[in-house]
Amino acid sequence: MPDIDIHFDVQYDYPVVFTKDVFNTENPVLVDIFKKTGQKNRILVVIDSNVAASTPDLISRIGVFFRQYDDIMDMVAPAYIMTGGEVCKNTPHEVEKIQILINKNHLCRHCFIMVIGGGAVLDAAGYAVATAHRGLRLLRLPTTTLAQNDAGVGVKNAINKFGKKNWLGTFAPAFAVVNDLLFLKTLNTRDLRAGISEAVKVALIKDRFFFDYLYDRREALRDFEPESMQEMIIRCARLHVDHIRNSGDPFERGSSRPLDFGHWAAHKIEDLADDDIRHGEAVAVGIALDAHYAHYCGCITEIELYRILSLMECIGFKLFHPALLQINIEASIREFQEHMGGTLAIPMICGIGKLTEAAIIDTGLIIRGIKNLEDRYNSKKTHEKKKRIQSDASHKGRGDVFS
């Protein structure tokens, strides 16, 4: 009997747009996106609860915007507020609520779900959208540093299952991604900082010039200077999208996943820390650990290791978390391999801006790296405590002089 061989190509096109004040009625970005369909668009809006809380007038502004352009967009129901943070990826009913709304409002594959929020909400809502009718049109509006420069511009949608991060998921590109930089003003210090680790990651594996930029601007990034933050986000997002477009493996069918440098440990830290740490903070620790491993293997010099660690510490990252001491290294590596399939391929750096892969991991060197990070962290804590004591004593002494 003859076989039937099937081969076909599918082209994906989606813009990643940078703007400010996207719901200003004078801003044409959303109007231009919706006009592409050539029809009046039925749209369900999903908003991260953290964004809704920090931007009280957002829902009313969205309503004004939709009424202004009611010839091309129809908001089919009041905006749904989705629980923000990693909890939405651990709670199946959050996904189900969106699917219920899609069904209740009779939305089809030509309708839009506009998701406004951080990376976790984009992941979970995107998973709901990709699985309803096998995929509606998804419009992402990332609101955090991490989502704008990394999580929100990719093609992954996922939730957690069996205590494993992103175990359930799909690869489904959005119809468009709109990064409104004004949303960054709603973030607290930790969330502003957290996403910078993804920029360090992509610079380390892909672009030494970008790493040099981050290093040179490390104090400006520490202070969240707007121009430096904007440049960091745009360059990081561009490198992320270029990888998806040019790697030859946008849906991660192979064993390699370069953009997960530092992530095998980061994911386990998040699991073990029980929501005590942001994803970007865990990635910073994972990068520091894998940078030590690369140094011990002779892939980067001591000076390069110093620059990596000092960059992240200057920005404000703590490069050790007690959860590191609880990691079962061999089991975590196996879990990472199982998630990818195929042969073991842990992304590593061989010089700043250059990527290699490790097919074998020396557990002893990982333990050595963890010990060094713990000692470095404790040494810094001791030093800072001494400085505080000296400062307090100095102030007390001056008080005695003037008494």
**Residue 400 binned pLDDT confidence (cut-offs 50, 70, 90):** very low
Kindly report whether the global pTM for this prediction surpasses the value 0.95: no
pLDDT of 386 higher than 80: no
Q: pLDDT value at position 139?
A: 98
Residue that the structure tokens 């959208």 belong to: 129
What is the torsional sign of CA 312, 317, 323, 325?
positive
Query: When comparing pLDDT for 390 and 252, which is higher?
Result: 390
pLDDT of 402 higher than 80: no
Q: pLDDT value at position 208?
A: 97
Q: Following DSSP, what letter does each residue of 185-245 receive, concatenated?
A: GG--HHHHHHTHHHHHHHHHHH-HHHHHHHHHTHHHHHTT-HHHHHHHHHHHHHHHHHHHH
For domain 194-247+255-387, give the fold.
Answer: Dehydroquinate synthase-like, alpha domain (1.20.1090)
Please choose, from the candidates 281, 367, 272, the residue with its C-alpha nearest in 3D space to the C-alpha of residue 323: 272
Q: 92: which residues sit within 8 A by CB, 6+ positions away?
A: 159
Q: pLDDT value at position 274?
A: 77
What are φ and ψ of residue 349, in 5° steps? -105, 145
Please choose, from the candidates 118, 308, 294, the residue with its C-alpha nearest in 3D space to the C-alpha of residue 199: 308
Amino acid at 213: Y
Is-contact 100 63, C-beta < 8 A?
Answer: no
Q: How far is CA 219 from the centre of its chain?
A: 22
**Residue 12 binned pLDDT confidence (cut-offs 50, 70, 90):** confident
pLDDT of 91 higher than 80: yes
The answer to whether 16-187 and 194-247+255-387 have equal CATH topology is no
Over range 366-371, report the average pLDDT: 97
pLDDT digits (tens, 9 = 90+) for 185-211: 999 999 999 999 999 999 999 999 999
CATH number of 16-187: 3.40.50.1970
**Residue 259 binned pLDDT confidence (cut-offs 50, 70, 90):** confident
pLDDT digits (tens, 9 = 90+) for 138-188: 999 999 999 999 989 999 999 999 988 889 999 999 999 999 999 999 999
Q: pLDDT value at position 394?
A: 66
Question: What are the domain boundaries of the chain?
Answer: 16-187, 194-247+255-387
Q: pLDDT value at position 401?
A: 35
Amino acid at 191: D
